[in-house]
Structures are given as structure tokens and as C-alpha cells.
Amino acid sequence: MTEATGDGPRAQERGSLSNWVPLGLAAAAVAALVVGWPLVNALLPGSETVPSGEPVTVGAAGEYRASLTFPQDGWLLDTGASQAGQVYRFDRGPVQLTLNSVTPTTSPPPTAEELWDGMRRVARAGEASARLSEPEAISTEDGAEGLTGTLKSDSQQGAAVVYPSPDGRFAVEMTLAGQDATTADLAAVADVVRSVSFTREGAA
Amino acid sequence: MNHAPDDRPAPAATDRGTVPSPRRSPHTTPGPRRVPAPRPGDGGSARGRRLPALASLVLITVLCLAGLLYLALQMALPVRAFLPEALLAAALGIVTLAFGFWVLRRIRPVREPDADASVVAVAWGLFAATGAGVVANGGLGAVWAKGLGLDLAGVWGAALTAPLNEEVLKLAGIVLVAVAFPTSVRGPVDGFAIGSLVGLGFEVTENFIYSMNAVLMAGGTGGLAPVVQTAVIRVGLTGPGSHWAMSAVAGTAVGLLAAVGWRPRTRRAVCAALLVALAMALHWLLDAPLFSGVLGVLAKVAVIFATTMAVYLTVRRAYRRRVRDALGSEAEELGMRRSAAVALATRHGRRRELQRVAQPEQPAVWDRQDRMVRAAEDRAALYAGHSV
């Protein structure tokens, strides 16, 4: 970008390229990115099998990390719709298990009831007609306490669960539902929502 | 920035700010650094640029509307569910936009960039680039998750996705603005300014999306706190080395190419390609999971800001020299003192010259100053094609 002479007058002599060329290149670049990546994504296989009995880490904050262990075979992780440590989408037939690992920013951390109220609004942010019932107490197989209730919307119904981590620095929120899932489908895997466990980081 | 023929009588030249109207003259005056005046033929391709300019403007409008519609559909439910949080995020975005627009237009040497081009550049960043970015990032992010696995993609996904998608989408907007407003993007300083404005628009919309995501990631708890925290981090901490900076660097490349009618020789083409690669590298640095922690992020932001300023000061210095030379040439042609003409190259100089004349004369003097500076910039733009 220093002054130079070699490129100057000769560049002028070469004349201009039609402005259609940069216009076309710019439009092509936008189209390639907007169409190309979703297309490549659609062509790649989108799920991987999650074996039963093996814990899957789903979140961590503070001194704890959370994992989920599927009691049944047949669960698939939708990798394209998941983000490590934040959002996980698991499918088993018509049943969908959506898990959010949320990290409250306030101090002291919110109570389970406050987390449930927040989850009501988060559910409505995903589907306007989604409603959570009044919560009831629930505990994981390891004894961690949380809240559960029913999830109803125009398109699906199922269960919602929230478990705060022992130090309250994060929480695991789950919805077990599916547009085509029957009550029997959901009942067959209902115990998955109790398979969350919190492990202290550094502990064996 | 092309000017209608001046039909007013040229006032007498003086040694101060009462600048006479520019006029054309044959290049007979000898001088060490004479800048040729624009010739009729120099704007000969204007007619050929009109249709691409119109097409570019239509494309920008269509893609901005499409981006706005897509973003509105994406954000409608979160905004409805968290209305107070969304309103605060929008208000902070408007303040950021207003302040950024003022600052980034001011940093262009000599005078602010064309207002229409500036607004269109910001609109591209606000709507078209971000709307397209959400789609492209979603696709590529999922590709990384499938190809690298969730854990690795979670750590490196942003650094592997954003520099490619977002920098290209913003760059495309800078090119489209340059084609739509060919008299507004005629060199590296114009590209820098327009690029920074595209980046500013992108940053504002991205901040809004990040704020709403922060609310969701906090589980809908904490009220307005996640929005405030997002603004503090993304404006106060990383703002000085964010999208405006990276796109300013990439925009400089667009200015280099636009200056020679998009037909550069090898040296200029390589220089432009390196600037685009530099913009992507800076974006990668910011998103890479290296030097974490507040101090690490501050260090990365400092590197990005310093790099951007190095590019800015380089092109600014060259441009101001060209404009001063052009003003000097005009002074010789008009018979006025060279120093008085060269002083008009800065806003401060013009203000100072203006204050030296009586109040009633100031509007007329300001008008003449403006026309003389515009004419000098026309000459400087021609000269921009003679340097790299």
C-alpha cells in the first residue's frame, strides 16, 4: 500500500473489468454458503447410536458435571441438532428427548421452582402453545432432587424435568415428548429422565 | 460525488479559507507532485456501471428483506417469551449502532463516506449478512459436529465456521455496495470505512441474537442480567476488536480492487487477497479456544485492534497525501497559496479556515471548500489506481 508506480498507469491502460463480474462473484459467494452448507449437512448421516449403560456427559459448571445413562438400547444422538455441553437431541423411534444444560448467571443461584418458571418461558420460546403443568418433586436414581411436570402443546405432549446441580451453578432440563409418540411409547422410556447423575469434578 | 458543472462566478483567490471554485486547466504548471485532474474520459464507464449498480442495489434490497424476514421468524418466539429482555437488547443495539455509525464514519480521512452508501452498508450487515450467516453457520456447524464429533466441534466449531462464513458474507456485501455506489468506493480508505460499517451492522444483530441466546442458556432465569452481561462482554470487552475491525481490513481489499476497475495486476491482487486472509485470520484468533480468560481475550482484542489500526494508518497516510497533492495542484491552477489549499484536507483545517472569514460569508466559503475537497478527492481517486 505504499506508493508505487509499476501498477499504476499500466493498470489504467488495461481498462476496467465489467462491474457485472464482482456483482456476480459476490452473489455466487452468498448463494454458495447459504445453499451449500445446509446441502452438505443434509447429505451427511446425522445420528449416532448411544449404547445403553454408558454415561454421556451433558454439561458441567462449577465443581460438578452431569451425565446421562440410557437404560434402554435404541437411542440415537442427533449430532446436527446438538451442541456439546449445551443442547442434546436424542431420538428413539417417535420419542424425542431434548436436554438443555443451562447456566444461571445470578448469585445466589435460582431455586428449583425458579428454574421451573424459567423453563416455562423457554418452552414457549420454542413453541408458542407449549405449557408446563404445576411441578412435582422427582429425584434421580442417585438421589439428586428436581421437579417434573407435564408438557403440552398443540403438536405434542410429554414430560418435563429439571435437576439443579448440587452447587446450583447449572441445571439439567429435559423434555421427553414426540409429535407421533403415544403414551405407551413415552411410558416405555420414562425412566430415562431419572438416569441423570452429578459427579464432582476430580472425583473418581 | 460527481459534481454538476459550476455555474457561479469564481471568486477571487485569497490566502485563506475563501477558496475559489475549482476549475479545469491544462496541465502546464510544473511541480514535484502533480496529480492529474479528472478527464472527461475518466468517467466514461459511468454509463456502463449504471446497470450493474442498479442490479446490485436491487440484490442488496432483496437479500436484506429476506434476511430481515428470516431473522424475524427465527426470533419471534424468543422475543415474545422474553419481551423485556428483548427490548433491552434492542435498545442496547440501537445505542451501539448510533455510536458506531458516528465514529466509523468519522474515521474516514478528509470527510465522511457517502451517507447513502453508509446506510446501505450497515443494512447489509444488520439483515442480509446475519440472516445468511445464521443459515450458513447452522449448516457448517452441523457438518463439523458430524465430522469431528460433538466435543471437538464444541471447542473448535466457532473458529472453523465464523471466519469462513461470516467474513465472506460481509465481504460480499462490501463488494455489492462498491458496485452499487461506484463513486463512493474508489480506494482503500473507502473500502475500510464501508467495510467497518458492514461489520458494525453485523455486530449489532449478532449481539441481539447472542443476548437472546444468553437468556435461554441461563434457563430463563436472571431477568435482564444475561442481556447486560452479554453487552458488557461483546461491546465493552471484545467490541474494539470485533466485526467492524475485521470487515474494515477486508473492505480495504475491496477498495484496492475497485480503484483499478476490478482488474488488478498481480501485486495488487496478492495484496487484496492477503488482506482478506488477514481478516479471516483475525476472526479465527478471536474465536479460537486459545488464551482463554479475560486477560487472554483482552490480548487477542488488542492484537486485532492494533492490526486494524496499522492497516488504517497506512491507507489513511497514503490517501491524505494524495488529497493534499491534489489540493496543491488545484491551488497552483487557481493561483491560491498552496498551504491554504492543503489545509482543507482535514476537517480541522477546513474549520479553521472557515473561522477566519466573517460570519455572513461562511456558508458560501463552506460550499466552495466542499466543492474543492470533492474535486481533490476525485483526483486522488484517480491516483489511487496508481499505487498499491
Q: Give the CATH number for residue A165.
A: 3.40.1000.10
Q: What ranges do the domains of chain B cover?
A: 48-305, 324-384
How many A-B residue pairs are in contact by the CB < 8 A criterion?
228
| Cβ separation B222–A104 shorter than 8 A | yes
- Rounded CA separation B235/B233 (Å): 6
Do residue A75 and residue A172 come from a single domain?
A: yes
In a domain, A73, yes or no: yes
Residues B114 and B326: their CA atoms lie apart, in Å, by: 20
Restricting to B residues 90-129, those with a Cβ less than 8 Å away from any Cβ of A are 128
The nearest CA of chain A is from the CA of B292 a distance in Å of: 16
Closest CA to B325 of B143, B96, B13, B110: B110
CA–CA distance, A91 with A9 (Å, rounded to integer):
65
Whole-angstrom distance, CA of residue B201 vs CA of residue B121? 8
Task: Find the CB nearest B139 among A37, A45, A106.
Answer: A37
Which domain range does residue A188 map to? 47-200
What number is the ipTM of this complex? 0.89
Exposed, middle or buried, B361 (CB in 10 Å: 0-12/13-18/19+)?
middle
- Note whether A58 contacts B: Cβ–Cβ < 8 A: no
A2 domain-assigned:
no
Same domain, A39 and A86: no
What is the least distance, in Å, from the CA of B201 to any CA of chain A? Answer: 17
> Residue B247: what residue type?
S
A33 and A51 share one domain = no
**What gap in Å lies between CA B365 and CA A27, rounded to an integer?**
44
CA distance B248 to A184: 58
Question: What's this model's pTM, rounded to 2 decimal places?
Answer: 0.87
The residues, ordered by sequence, that sit 6+ positions from B385 with a Cβ below 8 Å of its Cβ are: A8, A11, A12, B259, B260, B261
Q: Report pLDDT for A203.
A: 56
Residues A13 and A112 in one domain: no
pLDDT given for residue B130 in this prediction: 98
Q: Per-residue pLDDT tens for B158-183?
A: 999 999 999 999 999 999 999 999 99
CA separation for the pair A177, A195 (Å, rounded) = 17
Q: Are residues A186 and A172 in the same domain?
A: yes
Which residues does chain B have within 8 Å of residue A7's beta carbon, measured at their own beta carbons?
260, 264-265, 267-268, 386-388
Structural contact between residues A130 and A117, judged by C-beta atoms closer than 8 angstroms: no
- What gap in Å lies between CA B278 and CA B300, rounded to an integer? 14
pLDDT number for residue B340: 85
Q: Are B55 and B180 in contact (CB under 8 A)?
A: no
Query: Cβ of A125 and B260 within 8 Å?
Result: no
* pLDDT tens readout for residues B274-319: 999 999 999 999 999 998 889 999 999 999 999 999 999 999 999 9
| Whether residue B14 has pLDDT greater than 70 | no
Dihedral sign (CA B243, B185, B312, B285): positive
Instruction: Examine the domain organization and report whether A73 and A13 are in the same domain.
Output: no
Sorted by sequence, the CB contacts under 8 Å of residue B255 that are 6+ apart come out as: B178, B185, B186, B187, B188, B189, B190, B191, B192, B194, B315, B384
Residues A38 and A91 in one domain: no
Per-residue pLDDT 10s for chain A (204 aa) are: 443 333 444 444 455 668 999 999 999 999 999 999 999 999 998 889 999 999 999 999 989 999 999 999 999 999 989 999 999 999 999 999 999 999 999 889 999 999 999 999 999 999 999 999 999 999 999 999 999 999 999 999 999 999 999 999 999 999 999 999 999 999 999 999 999 999 998 654
Residue among B165, B309, B195, B306 nearest B256 (CA): B195
Say yes or no: A58 and A26 in one domain. Answer: no
pLDDT of B30 > 90? The answer is: no
Residue A18 is assigned to a structural domain of this protein: yes
Say how many domains are in chain A: 2
* Position A29 in a domain: yes
Q: Which of A12, A29, A115 is closest, CB to CB, to B385?
A: A12
